């Protein structure tokens, strides 16, 4: 249970793009150099980010990448979901076991119209809750918020001198 390196790379690439907003179109060479990741692999990742509308790309001479929307509208969750996929944190695999029938719900939810929960069992309820908490936190942090804090630290450093 760990985020993949690709997610790491994607985040850093986006931070780099956000930091270089003024001079549009950062090429894969520059990104690759800054992050220390091969051009081949990184371009795969950038391609994914483009397909999901996180960045824009233009081919040809002087082409490259730029953020498709303001950095404060690109959340950590967005990036993670593009790279890692949108599968649930927990996905039950044996819902046909004896135990499921004994200890889950079945009875209560079906007849109760005021709660249109599909078939959420007690284990899934805990795990989905965990996922929601995680997502909410990750949604509150954006590429911009990292840049802001970096800038704050930097100017604080200058003031001290």
Closest to DNA by CB, 12 or 50: 50
Q: Which phi and psi (to 5°) does residue 96 adopt? A: -105, 10
Q: Considering only residues 123, 126, 150, 154, which one is a binding residue for ligand SF4 as defined by CB under 6 A?
A: 123
Specify the stretch interacting with ligand SF4 by CB under 6 A; choose among 22-30, 55-63, 100-108, 148-156. 100-108
Site string for DNA, 44-63 (x = CB under 7 A): x-xx--xx-----xxxxxxx
- Determine the Cα–Cα distance for residues 82 and 160; give it in Å rounded to an integer: 40
Work out how close the CB of 114 gets to its own copies at its nearest, in angstroms, rounded to a whole number: 14
Residues 2-41 interacting with DNA (rule: CB under 7 A): 4-6, 26-29, 37-38, 40-41
Residue 15 CB, nearest approach to its own copies (Å): 6
Subset of 84-143 contacting DNA (CB under 7 A): 84
100 makes contact with ligand SF4 (CB under 6 A): yes
Please report whether residue 97 would count as binding ligand SF4 according to CB under 6 A. yes
For 161, counting Cβ atoms within 10 Å of its Cβ (0-12 exposed, 13-18 middle, 19+ buried), the class is exposed
Calpha distance 135→64 (Å, rounded)? 30
Q: Which three-class secondary structure string do you get for 22-69? A: CCCCECHHHHHHHHCCCHHHHHHHHHHHHHCCCEEEECCCCCEEEECC
From 59-67, 75-83, 89-97, 152-160, span contacting ligand SF4 (CB under 6 A): 89-97
The DSSP secondary structure of 59-109, one letter per residue, reads -STT-EEEESS-GGG-BHHHHHHHHH-S--S---S-TTSHHHHHHS-SHHH
Q: Residue written as tokens 């992050």?
A: 35
Residues binding DNA (CB under 7 A): 1, 4-6, 26-29, 37-38, 40-41, 43-44, 46-47, 50-51, 57-65, 84
């Amino acid at each position: 249970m760990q985020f993949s390196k690709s997610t790491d790379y994607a985040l850093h690439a986006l931070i780099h793009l956000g930091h270089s907003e003024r001079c549009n179109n950062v090429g894969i060479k520059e990104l690759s150099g800054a992050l220390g990741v091969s051009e081949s692999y990184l371009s795969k990742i950038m391609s994914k980010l483009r397909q999901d509308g996180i960045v824009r790309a233009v081919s040809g001479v002087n082409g490259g990448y730029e953020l498709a929307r303001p950095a404060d509208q690109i959340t950590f969750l967005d990036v993670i979901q593009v790279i890692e996929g949108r599968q649930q944190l927990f996905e039950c695999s044996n819902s046909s076991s004896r135990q499921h029938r004994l200890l889950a719900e079945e009875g209560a939810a079906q007849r109760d119209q005021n709660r249109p929960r599909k078939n959420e069992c007690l284990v899934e309820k805990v795990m989905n809750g965990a996922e929601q908490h995680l997502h909410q936190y990750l949604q509150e942090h954006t590429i911009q918020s990292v840049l802001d804090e970096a800038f704050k630290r930097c100017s604080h450093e200058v003031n001290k001198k």
